[in-house]
Amino acid sequence: MKTLFDFTVKDRKGKDFQVFSAVSVDKDGEQAEFTWVRFLNFHPTPEADDCLKPGAYVEVKGDLQLSVWKESLSIDCRVKDVKPWVLKKK
């Protein structure tokens, strides 16, 4: 997924957590489909900070949450692990 933006906010108890969004693009010839996901990282680490730059590719593991409101799908993820994604060429 390609990171688009990120920022750190504080919860009610003053503890930092990260919020960031990323997009996944699937292309088939001229057709492209985009999937937007919003991520919540309640346990940010320095490694996560390093790889969360706009335009960076990341691999994220966590619990997926889906919701629908007024026929609009929202995809969220509670992050368990985030690291840079590296394309492995064969």
DSSP annotation string for 51-75? H--TT-BEEEEEEEEEEEETTEEEE
Question: Are 25 and 61 within 8 A, CB to CB?
Answer: no
Q: How far apart are CA 19 and CA 41, in angstroms?
A: 6
Q: Taking the model in full, what pTM does it have? A: 0.76
What is the tens place of the pLDDT at every residue in 29-73? Answer: 888 888 889 999 988 888 877 788 878 888 899 999 999 999 888
